[in-house]
Amino acid sequence: MTRTPQTTMPENAHDHAHDRAPGSAPEHAHDLATPVDFWFDPLCPWAWMSSRWLLEAAKVRPLEPRFRVMSLAVLNEGKDIPEEYREGLAKAWGPVRVCMAAAAKGGPEVLLPLYTALGNRIHLEGRPIDRTLVEEALAEVGLPTDLADAMESDEYDDDLRASHQQGIDLVGEDVGTPVIAVDGVAFFGPVVTPAPKGEDAGRLWDGVLLVAGTPGFYELKRSRTKGPDFS
C-alpha cells in the first residue's frame, strides 16, 4: 500500500440504504455518495466475491462503486508461474480485452453489468471461458456481440495496460485482484468468503476503511481455510 492518509466515514452512513437489482448500479444521489474505484479481472473468483460485497455495502452505506479493469495476465507477465496456472492465465486475456472494448463502445458505466453477466457464467455456473460465453454476456447487457472479436485482438491492450497500471500504482506490485481506492486510500482485497450481505457488508466496509486509512498500516492476513463460497 502506497497511499494511506487518514479518512473518516460520512455522517449518517446508515440512512442511505436503497433496494436495487443484483449487479445494478447503486441509486444513491451523487452529491451524497462517496466514489469507490474497483479494479477487477473477470477471471478472479476472489475479485468477484469482493465485488458482490461492495455492491451489498453500497446498499447500506452512501457509496458509488465505479468499476475499472485490471489484468491477471498483465500482472503475471515475466513471473515464474507454475505450469498448472499458465493455461488459465493465457485465457485471461480474452475477457479483459472485451471489457475494454465494451467500455470504449458504451462508456465505463457498462463495465458493472458486463462484469456481472460474465461473472455469473464464469463463477456461478462454472462454465469455461469461450466466445459463446462472452457473446451471451454481451447480448444480456445489450452490447453488440461482435465485441467478442476483441478476445483475439491487441487493439485495446494499451488502454488495458494503462487501466491496470492506474490501480497497481496505488498499491504496489505485490498484490492481486481486486484493488479498491476511496478517498485517497487504496488497498488490495478484502479476500472474504462468502460475501457479507446487508448490514454485515456495511460493517466490513467500515472496518476495512478504518484499518486501511490508518497511517503506516500495511498488512493484516491469515491463511485461507476454504475456497470461494458463491452462496
The residue among 15 and 62 whose pLDDT is bigger is 62
Residue 207: all three cell numbers together: 472496518
Residue 33 lies in a domain: no
Dist. CA 65–CA 48, nearest whole Å: 14
- pLDDT at residue 163 in the model: 98
The residue among 187 and 224 whose pLDDT is bigger is 187
CB 38 within 8 A of CB 77: no
- What tens digit of pLDDT does each residue of 143-181 get? 999 999 999 999 999 999 999 999 999 998 888 899 999
pLDDT tier, 134 (very low <50, low <70, confident <90, very high otherwise) = very high
Dist. CA 87–CA 93, nearest whole Å: 11
DSSP for 177-208, written as a single string: S-EEEETTEEEE----SSPP-HHHHHHHHHHH
Q: By residue range, what is the domain housing residue 159? A: 41-212
Residue 102 lies in a domain: yes
DSSP for 5-50, written as a single string: ----PPTTGGG------TTSPP---TTTSEEEEEEE-TT-HHHHHH
Residue 21 lies in a domain: no
- What tens digit of pLDDT does each residue of 175-209 get? 889 999 999 999 999 999 999 999 999 999 999 99
Residue 129 lies in a domain: yes
Percent of the chain with pLDDT over 90: 70
Residue 223 lies in a domain: no
- Span 41-67, mean pLDDT? 97
The CATH code of the domain that includes 185 is: 3.40.30.10
- Residue 40 scores a pLDDT above 90: yes
- pLDDT at residue 85 in the model: 74
- What tens digit of pLDDT does each residue of 118-130 get? 999 999 999 999 9
- pLDDT at residue 25 in the model: 46
Residue 28 lies in a domain: no
- pLDDT at residue 31 in the model: 61
- End-to-end CA distance of the chain: give it in Å, rounded: 30
The number of distinct structural domains making up the chain is 1
Residue 92 lies in a domain: yes
- pLDDT at residue 8 in the model: 33
